[in-house]
Amino acid sequence: MLDLRLLRAEPERARTELLRRGGADALDRVLELDRNAREMRTHVEAVRAERGRISKEIGQLKRDGRDADAVQAQARALGDELVADEDALRELEAARDDVLLGLPNFADADAPGGGEDDAVTVRVVGTRPDFDFPAKDHLEIGLMLGGIETEQAAKISGARFAYLMGPLVRLQIALVSFAVDLLEERGFTPVVPPVLVREEAMFGTGFFPTDRASIYALADDDLYLVGTSEVPLAGLGYDRILEAGELPLRYAGISTCFRREAGAAGRDTRGIFRVHQFDKVEMFTFTDAEQSSAEHLRILGVQEEILGSLGLHYRVQDIAIGDLGASAARKFDCEAWMPGQDRFREVTSCSNCTDYQARRLNCRIRTDQGPRFVHTLNGTAVAVGRTLIAILETHQRADGSVAVPEALRRYGAPAELAPR
RNA sequence: GGAGGGGUGGCAGAGCGGUCGAAUGCGGCGGUCUCGAAAACCGUUUCGGGCUUUAGGGUCCGACGGGGGUUCAAAUCCCCCCUCCUCCGCCA
């Protein structure tokens, strides 16, 4: 959520910022609703003050044992007047907040302009795998290894679900252990969070109202399945005042993620690239305004360290403004080369949400000048499914076997995966 | 799932229709004393919002888990929800 005071004080700057993000029409609606709401609030508070004054008078009269009927009638009349005005006030403020909640974060000044296709490649790392045999894709390899089963999954869960089996489970476990170890060394506290959350957590992280369609809901229980542990990790700061000295707070969430993938019909239907359920290790940091840009690069650095350790060829993309999520001011994606698709595909993503998410979460720190909103950042450490795809496709051999990166062997993975 | 008891300031804890944004203690901050420190003593110490301001502030409204109700007036009475604790049942 954007700072309403800032929108009032610098509407032209806000307009410029929102135009960068695609449109400023909603700004005018917010400002107008806000003017009306404030006018009504001033009125309501004046009436409340008057009624409060009279009520005290009644108390005094009664204590003195004197008659208060006349004054009491007057107070009652004021109260009746208030009811209608308070309703109107509530409606105005709710309408204003609805629109306000839908406004995206201001983009970072350095974020590239444009949309989905306008990401800027920051760097390309490693060398493209070169095979002297036709490269197989991950599903083909996974089937040969006995590691992926989608047909039965489709029967019992539907499309975009898969069983991960045998050697790929070993690989997942090693991958997660490797990531958690590294993250703990980098100051991230491992967390296994709740994956069912209330609506408040979804609003607090900015997934609601904008991305509601991509979230699974448990209608009978008013709970939602998280699409990323970013949601419950951000929840650690929900409605809380932290001490400035304890920042930065870094967490590494390990969880299953659930996504409806609405709107992705027909895309990436093969294998486990885009599924409704996958496991992920996620970084999340609470920090302050001064350090958030540096923290963003730090998170990106960890991501690259992991991809590098896995021997993957990847590039870092600076995501264009039009392709940022509502909460993000800036976002970098790491895309790994996937020989089976003959192109780079997203395997990690990291966003600096500045104070946008914190304002919604109401997560602040105490400072000499009073409470201030923190800055929040999140980034993928390991999205298991997609990382497995990159590993299988990158390290495949002609006979269908796969060489396992040294980094994972140290965490119990076999040196190579052999076709059955 | 059943029965009972709680949720009040950073923490502990009183208040149970008006003079209560809230006693008291602890902690924090500032000061006195001291070579310095401790102790003691004095002072201070929630958050959000509206209006206003020669920018220091001033003034008013709201908040005692959340929401609704009763009342001229609610931390205090009633209803719903959330949550914590104890006991019983069930369970990985």
Taking only the tens place, the pLDDT of each residue in A71-88 is: 888 888 888 888 888 888
pLDDT in tens, A357-373: 999 888 888 777 777 88
Where b means 16+ CB within 10 Å and e means fewer, A247-263 reads bbbbbbbbbebbbbbee
Which window residues (23-52, chain A) lie with Cβ within 7 Å of strand B? 38, 41-42, 44-46, 48-49, 51-52
Average of per-residue pLDDT across A98-106: 92
Share of residues in chain A with pLDDT > 70 (%): 100
Find the nucleotide nearest A39 (Cα to C1′): B50
Q: Output the DSSP codes for A128-172.
A: ----SSPPPPHHHHHHHHT-EE-HHHHHHT-TT--EE-THHHHHH
Q: What is the CATH number of domain A116-417?
A: 3.30.930.10
What pLDDT shows up at residue A38?
A: 93
Q: How confident is the model at residue A265 (pLDDT cuts 50, 70, 90)?
A: confident
pLDDT in tens, A206-263: 888 888 999 999 877 888 999 999 999 998 888 887 777 778 999 999 999 999 998 8
Q: How confident is the model at residue A176 (pLDDT cuts 50, 70, 90)?
A: very high
- CA A152 to C1' B89, in angstroms, rounded, equals 38
**Domain ranges for chain A:** 4-102, 116-417
Is any atom of strand B within 7 angstroms of residue A74's beta carbon?
no
Closest CA to A264 of A198, A211, A329: A211
Is any atom of strand B within 7 angstroms of residue A66's beta carbon?
no
Radius of gyration over every alpha carbon of chain A, rounded to an integer in angstroms: 27
Question: Which class is A4-102 in CATH?
Answer: mainly alpha
- For A206-265, list the strands marked E by DSSP: 216-218, 223-225, 240-243, 249-258
Q: Are A253 and A281 in contact (CB under 8 A)?
A: yes
Q: How confident is the model at residue A117 (pLDDT cuts 50, 70, 90)?
A: very high
Q: Are A298 and A284 in contact (CB under 8 A)?
A: no
- CA A359 to C1' B29, in angstroms, rounded, equals 28
Helices (H), A248-401: 292-309, 356-361, 384-394
- Determine the Cα–Cα distance for residues A345 and A174; give it in Å rounded to an integer: 22
Q: Are A124 and A258 in contact (CB under 8 A)?
A: no
Task: Give the CA angle between residues A26, A239, A102 to the nearest 5°.
Answer: 15
- Determine the Cα–Cα distance for residues A148 and A172; give it in Å rounded to an integer: 12
What pLDDT shows up at residue A403?
A: 97
pLDDT over threshold 80, residue A321: yes
Question: Is the four-CA dihedral A83, A89, A94, A95 of positive or negative sign?
Answer: positive
Pick the range with the lowest mean pLDDT from A1-5, A140-144, A174-178, A395-399.
A1-5
Question: Is the four-CA dihedral A400, A402, A403, A409 of positive or negative sign?
Answer: negative
Name the DSSP class of A274. Answer: S
Find the nucleotide nearest A372 (Cα to C1′): B47
Average of per-residue pLDDT across A185-194: 94
- Determine the Cα–Cα distance for residues A228 and A130; give it in Å rounded to an integer: 34
What pLDDT shows up at residue A305?
A: 98
Closest CA to A180 of A230, A252, A284: A252
pLDDT in tens, A17-47: 999 998 889 999 999 999 999 999 999 999 9
What pLDDT shows up at residue A56?
A: 87
ipTM of the complex: 0.84
Q: Which residues contact A130 (CB under 8 A, 6 or more apart)?
A: none
Is any atom of strand B within 7 angstroms of residue A5's beta carbon?
yes
What pLDDT shows up at residue A79?
A: 86
pLDDT over threshold 80, residue A68: no
Find the nucleotide nearest A5 (Cα to C1′): B49
Q: How confident is the model at residue A106 (pLDDT cuts 50, 70, 90)?
A: very high
Is any atom of strand B within 7 angstroms of residue A53's beta carbon?
yes
Question: Is the four-CA dihedral A394, A395, A399, A401 of positive or negative sign?
Answer: negative
Catalytic residue ranges of A: 259, 274, 346, 349, 386
Q: Which residues contact A107 (CB under 8 A, 6 or more apart)?
A: A17, A20, A21, A321, A324, A329, A330
Mean pLDDT score of chain A? 92
Q: Are A178 and A411 in contact (CB under 8 A)?
A: yes
For the ranges A18-22, A78-82, A128-132, A303-307, the one whose mean pLDDT is highest? A303-307
Q: Which residues contact A402 (CB under 8 A, 6 or more apart)?
A: A141, A145, A391, A392, A395, A396, A416, A417
Q: Which residues contact A316 (CB under 8 A, 6 or more apart)?
A: A121, A122, A123, A125, A300, A304, A332, A333, A334, A335
Specify the pairing of strand A163-164 against strand A189-191. Answer: unpaired
